[in-house]
Structure 1
Amino acid sequence: MSEAADVPAVEVEVTGRAPRERTFFGHPFGLFTLFTTELWERFSYYGMRAILFYFLTDTLANDGLGLDDATGAALVAVYGSAVYLVTVVGGWVADRLIGARRSVLWGGVVIAAGHVSLAVPAHWTAYLGIVLVALGTGLLKPNVSSMVGELYRRDDPRRDSGFSIFYMGINIGSFTAPFIVQIAREIGGYHAGFSVAAVGMGLALVAFVLGRRALHGAGEVVPNPLTPQDRPRVVRMALLVVLALLAATALAWLVVRAGGRDVGALNIIIDALSYLAFAAPVVMFLVMFRSPKVNTAERSRLGAYIPLFVAAMLFWMIFEQASNTLSQYARDHTDLDVGGVTISPVLYQSVNPASIILLAPVFAWLWVKLDGRPSTAVKFAIGLTLAALSFIFLAGASAVAGDGRSPWWVLVVVYVVQTLGELCLSPVGLAATTLLAPRAFRGQAMALWFLAPAAGQAITAQLITATEGMSRTAFFGGIGVVALVVAGAMFALSPWVTRRIREGAESDEDVAARA
C-alpha cells in the first residue's frame, strides 16, 4: 500500500487545523466498514449453512431436495471443502489480477446471487446457488481479512486488537444467523430462510460499497500484477487445473462404479472434489520440497510443519461436522425438549460462536499470563485432543441413549469442548505456517493453511459415504480414537517441532537485521 493510502487524508478547517480523524473504537474507521461487511457476510453464510443439510434431506413435499441422509451430509462436507479450495484461487486472483477490494466486491455479488438462487423454489436453482455461494465465498473470504491488515502500519500497536474487533463481528453474525433464519423458515419454509441469507449478503454489499472512502485505498493495489512474461505460465497452470479436474472426475466415476454406487452426477462430484482436496496439499508440499529456491534448513522446518498440518486437518475434519453429521444427530437423536419448550436443531449452530464470544477474551488473557507457554505444537496437540474427546463423549452418549434420544445438553457439551480446542489451535495456526514455510513460499502460506480444513472436510465426505449403515457410536467413537492417537503422537513430536519453529523465527530476525 502506498504512503498516501496509508495516511488518511482529512479536511482542513478554515483555522488551518486538521480535525480529528473519525475512528471506530479508537481504530481507523475503515475497520467499521470491514467489520460490518464481514458480520453480514458471515450472517448469510452461517444462516444458509445452518439449514442446508435439513433442506437437502427433507422431503419434496416439504420443499426439500429429498436426498438420503448420507448423500446430503457428504454434499455439505464437500461443499465446505470446496469453499476452502476456492480461497486459494481467490487469493491468487486478488494478488495477481484485480486486488483485494474488487475481489471482495465481486465475491459478495456472486454470494448474493447464490442465496437468491437458493431462495427460488426449483431444484436446479438450488444446486446453482450452492455452487455460487462456494465460489463467491472463496473469492471474498481470504481478501477481506487481508484488507483489515492494510488499515494499519506493520508496527501499529492497534493491529492485534483491530483483528480482535473484526473477528468479533464474524461471531456476532454467525451467532445470530441461525435464530433469524430459523424464524423465517418456520414462517415461510426453507426458501424464506435462504431469502434472509440473501438479505444479509445484500446488507454486506451495501456496507462495503458505502464505506469505500473510509478504507482509504486499502485493497485497491494489485500486489503482484501479471506481466506479459507471466502469461504462458498462467496458461500452463490453467491447463493443469483443467486436467486435474478431468482426472479427478474420471477417477471418481471409476470408484463409484466399482463400488456399486449410483453412477450419478452428485456422487461423482462429491468424490471428485474430495480427491482434489486431498491432492492439493500433497502437491503443494511436493512443490516446496523440490523447489531449488528452498534450502536445506527450510526443508527441515517444512518437514516439521507436516505433523502440524495433519493435526489441523483432523481437527477441522471433526469440527466442521457441525453442519452435517452433528446436524443429523441434533434432528434425529437428540431430545429437543428444554424445560417444556421444544427447540429447533438449527439453533445448535449458534453454540460455537456464542462460546467464542464468551471464551476468546479468557484465552487471550490466559496466553498472556502464561507468557508464550505452552508451545505452538503443544497447543495443536491440546486442540486435537479436545476435538477427539468431544467425539468420544458423543459416542458414549449415543451408546447410553441406544434407540432413544440423548439429552439436549449433550451436543452443547460437544460444541463447547470443540470450541476450547479451536481456541487452542486456530489462532496460532497461521503464525506457525508462516514461520515454517520456506521464504520463497511465504506469500502462499495462507493458501496452505486453508488446505487443512479443505482436506479435513474431504475426509468427512468420504467417511460418511464409506460408513453408511454404521452405528452412530462406532462412527463418532472410531473418529475420536484415531484423532486421539494422532494427538498423542503430536505431543511426542512437540519438542522437535518447537525447535524448528524457533529456528524459523531466528532466521527471520537475522534477515530483518541484514535488511
Structure 2
Amino acid sequence: MGDLTQKKTFFGHPPGLFTLFFTEMWERFSYYGMRAILILFMVASLAEKNAGMGLDTATAGAIYGLYTAGVYLLTLPGGWLADNIFGQRKAIWYGGVIIMLGHISLAIPQDVTFYLGLVLVCIGTGLLKANISTIVGDLYPEGGARRDAGFSIFYMGINIGSFLGQLVVGILGENWNWHWGFGAAAVGMFLGLVVYRLTADRYLGDIGVTPKAKEAAKNSDGSATTSTGLLIGLVALLVLFIVVLQLTGIIDMRSIVGVAEGMGYIIIAIVALYFAYILIAGGLNKAEKLKVVVIIFLFIGAALFWSGFEQAGSSLNLFAERHTDRMFQANGLSGIVAIVVGLAVLLGLGGLWVKEILNRDDLIDALKIITAIVVAGLAAFAWWLVDSIGKGWEMPASWLQSVNPMFIILLAPVFGALWVKLAQRNMNPSAPLKFGFGLICLGLGFLVMVFAARAVVAELPETVRVSTLWLVMTYFLHTTGELTLSPVGLSMTTKLAPKKFGGQMMGIWFIGAALGNLIAGLFAGNFDENNTAQMPDLFMSVVMTSVGAGIIFLILSPWIKRWMGDVE
C-alpha cells in the first residue's frame, strides 16, 4: 500500500478509487442502458420497422423479472468464487468480459442469442458487482468518515453511468435498431475493461489479488461435511416444495410466467428456512436473536420497496411508451426544462471528467485519448439534443429512466447534509423510521401514477397521452424514498448481523433486492395493452401495500429500535 499513497489522488481519495469508479461507471452504463430498452424490445411487434420479439406483456414481464432477479442472486456465488478461488481482482475482470460477451450476444438478432446474452450478463454481473464494492472498502483500512465519502464518490459513478447509459442505449435502441442499443452496452463495458486493465495494477497494488478464504479448505473440523448435509437437505425440501406447488395448481412450471412465480416461492422459502435455522440452531443469545428479527423486518421492507421501485424498468417503462406525450418543443416548458437540465448535467459531468483525467500526469495517453473522444461525443450529443428539440422531436420512452439517476446526482449531497444536521441536533430518524418514510415516499409516487392512469382511462376508447411530468414527479418521490431507505438498510444489515453470520446477512440483503426485482417484473405482466382500464387499480394496489407497510414500520419503530440494542 505504501507506494500507492505516493500517486496522485482521485478527488482527494486513494488512486485506486479512480480505477473502480470508472470500471463501475461503464459497467452500470451497460447494465442500466440495456435494462432501459429490455422490456420495450420484448413487447415490440415483429411487424414494426424496428422489430422486437412480439411477446405478450405477461411473458415479457416474467423474463424481465427473472433476469433482474438473477443479476442479484448470482452475486452470492460470485462473492464465494472470489473469496475462495479467483480473488476479487480476477473476478472483476472475468465478470466484465462475460458481461461484454453477453451484450454482444444480445446484439445478434436471434432468439437463442438473446436468451444466452441475458444469462451471460447475469453471470458476469454476479462476479463483478459482488466484488468491486469490497475492494472499494479495502482502500480504506482505517475506516471512518473518509471511507464513507469514498463510497459516496463511487456511488456517484454508478449513477453517472446509469444516466448516460440510458440516454445512449435508449436513443440507439428505440429510434434506430434495438440491437444497436445492445451493441452500445457492449461498447460501454469494453471501455470499463480498458480502464481496469490499464490502471488496476498501477493503482490497486496487491489489493484483492489473493482469495480471502484461501486457507478455509485446511479446516478439518467436520464443518464442511455438516454444511454439505444441510445443503442437500435444503435442496430436497425445495424440490418437494415446488412439486407440491405444481400439483396443487398454485404455479404452472410449463410457462415462463410459472417459472418466474416458482422462483419467487423458492426465494421466500429459502429465506424463511435460513432465518428459522439461524434463530433456532444458530447458537445466538437473546440480544443477537432480537437483532436478527430486526434484519427480518428490514428484509421484508426492502423487498417491498424494490418491488415497487424497480417497476421503473417494467410497468412504468411500458406506461411511458404507451401513454405519455413525449413530443418536445423548444417554445414549451418541457422543452426549456429539458434543454437547461440536460445541458447542465452533461456539461457538468464532462467538465469534472476533463479536470480529473486530462490534467493527470500519471495516466497513459491511451486513456486520455479515450476520455477526449467520449467528452467530444457528449458535446456533440448535447448539440444534437438542442437542435432536435428546436425542430420538434419525440423523446424515446427509455430516456425517462435517466430521471432517477439525475435526481440522485442532484439530491444525494442534500440528503447527506440533512442527516448530518439532524444528527447534530439529536433528531436523526432511526433506521425503522427511515424505512417507513422510504416506503411511504414510494407509495406517494405511485399515487401520482394513479391520477395519471385515471387521466388516460377517462378518455377511453379514445387514445390520450399524458404529460411526462407525471412520471418525473413519480421518480422524484421514488428517489427520495431510495435515498432515505437504501443506504441505511445496507448499513444496518452489516451492523446488526451476528459476527459469524455477517457475510451471509449481506447476501440476504441482495436476495431481498432479487425478490423485489422479480415481483416488479411479474407485476408488470398485468399491464395488458388491451385492458388499459385496470391501470388505476393496479397502481393503487402498490400505493396501499407501500404506504401500509410504511405505516407499520412507523408504528413498530419504538420496539424495533429497542431490539437493535446498542446499534445506532
Match of 1:198 in 2: 186
SS of equivalent to 1:357: helix
Instruction: Measure the CA separation in 1 of the matches of 2:419 and 2:506.
Output: 23
1:304 Cα deviation after fit: 2.5
CA 1:126–1:248 in structure 2 vs 1: closer, same or farther (change >3 Å)? farther
Q: Letter of the aligned partner of 1:427 in structure 2?
A: P
Give the Cα–Cα distance (whole angstroms) in 1 for the partners of residues 317 and 283 of structure 2. 46
Map 1:100-111 onto structure 2 (within 5 A). 100-111=88-99
CA contact under 8 A between 2:88 and 2:135: conserved in structure 1? yes
Residues 1:175 and 2:163 aligned together: yes
Deviates more, 1:38-47 or 1:162-171: 162-171
> Match of 1:380, as an amino acid?
F
**Structure 1 residues 186 and 396: CA distance shift in structure 2, 3 A:** closer
- Residues 290 and 93 of structure 1: is their aligned pair in 2 closer, same or farther, counting only changes over 3 Å? farther
Q: 1:132 to 1:251 in 2, by over 3 A?
A: farther
**Against the structure 1 CA distance between its residues 380 and 195, is the aligned structure 2 distance closer, same or farther, given a 3 Å change threshold?**
same
* Counterparts of 1:145 and 1:99, CA distance in 2: 13
SS of residue paired to 1:373: coil
Q: Quick one: which amino acid aligns to residue 263 of structure 1? A: R
In structure 1, the residue corresponding to 2:87 is in which secondary structure? helix
1:338 paired with 2:328, answer yes
Q: Percent identity?
A: 41
- The question of 1:263 aligning with 2:254 is answered yes
* Aligned equivalents of 2:516, 2:135: Cα separation in 1: 27
- 2:292 maps to which residue? 302
Distance 1:384 1:492, change over 3 A: same
- 1:242, 1:41 → 2: CA distance? 33
CA RMSD between the two structures? 2.4
Alpha-carbon shift at residue 185 of structure 1 (Å) = 2.2
Match of 1:427 in 2: 487
CA distance in 2 between counterparts of 1:201 and 1:460 reads 26
Note the residue ranges of structure 1 that are not aligned, 5 or more in a row: 1-5, 11-19, 506-515
Letter in 2 for 1:495: P
Classify the secondary structure of the residue corresponding to 1:26: coil
- 1:436–1:22 distance in 2 versus 1, CA, 3 Å: same
| Preserved contact between residue 253 and residue 262 of structure 2 (Cα < 8 Å) | no
**Contact 2:252 2:259 survives alignment (8 Å):** no
Q: 1:353 aligns with which of 405, 413, 438?
A: 405
Residue 395 of structure 1 is matched in structure 2 by 450
Cα separation, partners in 2 of 1:417 and 1:116, compared to 1, 3 Å: same
Change (3 A) 1:79 1:254: farther
3-state SS of 2:325 partner: coil
User: CA 1:281–1:245 in 2, change beyond 3 Å: closer, same or farther?
Assistant: closer
1:178 to partner: Cα distance = 1.4
Q: 1:450 to 1:188 in 2, by over 3 A?
A: same
The one-letter code of the counterpart of 1:357 is I
Q: Residues 187 and 491 (structure 1 numbering): CA distance in 2 closer, same or farther, change over 3 Å?
A: closer
**Which shows bigger deviation, 114-123 or 157-166?**
157-166
Structure 2 contact 444–543 (Cα < 8 Å) conserved:
yes
Mapping for residues 7-22 of structure 1, pairs under 5 Å: 7-8=2-3, 20-22=6-8
Deviations 1:283-340 (Å, cap 9, x if unpaired)?
3312221234311111112223322222211111100001111111111111222334
Instruction: Show the counterpart of 2:27.
Output: 41
1:261/1:448 Cα in 2 relative to 1: closer, same or farther (>3 Å)? closer
Amino acid at match of 1:475: L
Amino acid aligned to 1:26: G
Compared CA separation, residues 237 and 381, structure 1 to 2 (3 A):
same
Mapped to 2, the partners of 1:116 and 1:237 lie a distance apart of 39
1:147-196 residue CA offsets vs partner (Å, 9 max, x unmatched): 00111123454211111111111011000111111232256411111000
Change (3 A) 1:144 1:73: same
> C-alpha displacement at 1:259, in angstroms?
6.8
SS at 1:208 equivalent: helix
Structure 2 residue corresponding to 1:50, chosen from 36, 39, 60: 36
Distance 1:271 1:407 in 2: 34
Task: Give TM-score, length-normalised by structure 2.
Answer: 0.81
Distance 1:122 1:241, change over 3 A: farther
The Cα of 1:124 is off from its aligned counterpart by: 0.4
SS in 2 for 1:24: coil
